[in-house]
DNA sequence: TATTGTTATACTCTATAACTATA
DNA sequence: TATAGTTATAGAGTATAACAATA
């Protein structure tokens, strides 16, 4: 290799490294996106194979699991970040499976409250246990300190994003 | 408030904090998932409004943008984590929009190579610039040091997950 | 026989907007 | 009039498997 070529390569390398540093936010986002896609696909695969469930369904059930008295559909919509109309469809499918039931409370008959059935509670409990196991497994090579750091950092990121949405 | 009530509240708080520490991997995952969902929805909204494009399309175009000579569909499938059959559909839509073209190289006529058209290159260039701006904006409240730390940490996580998939 | 893409299918998710019943 | 859900619709994404052409 000639001196000129060698020099050119070094320069390219330096420029390349400089470029990398120029767009750290973009790089972080692309990396987060591909990472969550990788993990999501794996989790989706296992949820489907072992529980015939989807990720949005799991998410919705998790919200109800925390609220024994159930949640209004509007509140469910906010917490799952799914539009009102689509929450209706999600809940309907889960109701057909016997995991969720809908009730209209006395007082305001416009309101619909969704809550887990007994079967839904048992079923989600098993799902949650498996889900936790899968996550521990997938993150096995990440040390505890890093996990803790990431917990804090991701929270900062979420707050920042929340503060800069179109509607705010 | 009585002493007993106050004591009970303290205990609840302590137990709650202890519980939080018990499942850090799960908590990290749920937080990453809701964060990427929040940001993805925002980016999707803007991509649709300003470029009539979807996130998977953006992802696919980004891969081709880095490879002026184009990529085989199989390779595109791997890089975008989209199945072969669905890559065909994605590329077809982008071809109809005139952003991508397909070619069969001499030598192995089973192969299809996708590459950006001139228009596709220009179009994606504008998309990438806007996309980078959006990300910087959404991450504006996160300091540079944290962004750098996260870049490293997310990479560790991705590698760990990759090492523990079903097929490995 | 193995590989590369394509086609077919079924289902779910996503987004938007119009609509109904109730307050 | 405003609110809570529902319905309708259109378009994409996702996963699986069967299939054709080529090597």
Mean pLDDT of chain B: 89
Task: Write the pLDDT tens digit of every residue in A61-91.
Answer: 999 999 999 999 999 999 999 999 999 999 9
* pLDDT over 60 (residue B16): no
A86: CB within 7 A of chain C nucleic strand: yes
Are A139 and A147 contacting, i.e. CB atoms less than 8 angstroms apart?
yes
Instruction: Round to a whole number and report the distance in Å from the CA of B109 to the C1' of C4.
Output: 9
Q: What is the separation, in whole angstroms, between the first and last Cα of chain B?
A: 57
Task: Give the model's pLDDT for residue A16.
Answer: 52
* pLDDT over 50 (residue B42): yes
Domains and CATH numbers, chain A: 1-52 (no CATH), 53-139 (1.10.10.10)
A47: CB within 7 A of chain C nucleic strand: no
Task: Write the pLDDT tens digit of every residue in A90-104.
Answer: 999 999 999 999 999
Q: What does the alpha-carbon distance between residue B124 and residue B121 come to, in Å, rounded to a whole number?
A: 5
* pLDDT over 80 (residue B69): yes
B104: CB within 7 A of chain D nucleic strand: no
* pLDDT over 50 (residue B88): yes
* pLDDT over 90 (residue A164): yes
Q: What does the alpha-carbon distance between residue A115 and residue A95 come to, in Å, rounded to a whole number?
A: 10
Task: Write the pLDDT tens digit of every residue in A105-124.
Answer: 999 999 999 999 999 999 99
H helix intervals, B52-117: 55-65, 73-80, 84-96
Contacts of A143 by beta carbon, 8 Å cutoff, 6+ apart: none
B145–A contact, CB cutoff 8 A = no
A154 vs B29: CB contact, 8 Å cut-off?
no
Task: Write the pLDDT tens digit of every residue in A39-63.
Answer: 999 999 999 999 999 999 999 999 9
Window B:146-165, CB contacts with A under 8 Å:
146-151, 153-165
What is the CB neighbour count within 10 angstroms for residue A132? Answer: 16
Q: CA neighbours within 13 Å on the CB side: how many for A27?
A: 17
Q: What share of chain A is helix, strand, coil (3-state, %, to 5)?
A: 70, 5, 20
Q: What does the alpha-carbon distance between residue B21 and residue A124 come to, in Å, rounded to a whole number?
A: 22
Three-state secondary structure readout of B113-145: EEEECHHHHHHHHHHHHHHHHHHHHHCCCCCHH
Three-state secondary structure readout of A67-84: CCCCEEHHHHHHHHCCCH
Task: Give the model's pLDDT for residue B5.
Answer: 46
* pLDDT over 90 (residue A12): no
B158 vs A26: CB contact, 8 Å cut-off?
no
| pLDDT-derived band at B3, boundaries 50, 70, 90 | very low
Task: Give the model's pLDDT for residue A94.
Answer: 95
Which tokens hold the place of B7?
């004591």
**The pTM of the whole model exceeds 0.85:** yes
Average pLDDT over residues B83-111: 95
A157 vs B135: CB contact, 8 Å cut-off?
no
Task: Give the model's pLDDT for residue B6.
Answer: 46
Query: What are the backbone dihedrals phi and psi of residue B103, each rounded to the nearest 5 degrees, phi first?
Result: -140, 145
Task: Give the model's pLDDT for residue B22.
Answer: 73
Average pLDDT over residues A4-32: 64
Q: What does the alpha-carbon distance between residue A138 and residue B164 come to, in Å, rounded to a whole number?
A: 5
B105: CB within 7 A of chain C nucleic strand: no
B115: CB within 7 A of chain C nucleic strand: no
Task: Give the model's pLDDT for residue A159.
Answer: 96
Chain C: bases < 7 Å from a protein Cβ? 3-9, 12-18, 21-23
**SS3 call for B70:** coil
Cα–Cα distances (Å) from A111 to A38, A102, A104, A107, A114, in that order, read 38, 10, 6, 9, 10
| pLDDT-derived band at A1, boundaries 50, 70, 90 | very low
Task: Write the pLDDT tens digit of every residue in B124-150.
Answer: 999 999 999 999 999 999 999 999 999
Residue A79 CA from chain centroid, whole number: 11
The C-alpha of A92 sits at a distance from chain B's nearest C-alpha, in angstroms, of 23
Average pLDDT over residues B45-67: 94
What is the CB neighbour count within 10 angstroms for residue B2? Answer: 7
Beta bridge partners of B100: B116
Which tokens hold the place of A152?
């804090």
Are A70 and A64 contacting, i.e. CB atoms less than 8 angstroms apart?
yes
- More confident call, B12 vs B47: B47
The C-alpha of A76 sits at a distance from chain B's nearest C-alpha, in angstroms, of 14
């Amino acid at each position: 290799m000639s001196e000129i070529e060698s020099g050119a390569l070094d320069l390219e390398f330096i420029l390349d490294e400089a470029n990398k540093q120029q767009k750290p936010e973009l790089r972080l986002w692309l990396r987060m996106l591909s990472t969550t896609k990788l993990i999501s696909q794996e989790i989706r695969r296992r949820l489907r194979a072992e529980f015939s469930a989807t990720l949005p369904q799991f998410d919705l059930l998790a919200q109800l699991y925390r609220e024994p008295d159930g949640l209004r559909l509007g509140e469910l919509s906010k917490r799952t970040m799914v539009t009102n109309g689509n929450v209706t469809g999600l809940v309907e499918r889960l109701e057909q499976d016997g995991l969720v039931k809908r009730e209209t409370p006395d007082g305001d008959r416009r309101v619909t409250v969704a809550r887990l059935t007994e079967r839904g509670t048992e079923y989600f409990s098993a799902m949650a246990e498996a889900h936790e196991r899968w996550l521990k497994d997938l993150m096995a090579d990440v040390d505890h300190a890093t996990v803790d750091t990431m917990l804090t950092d991701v929270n900062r990121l979420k707050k920042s994003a929340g503060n800069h949405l179109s509607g705010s």
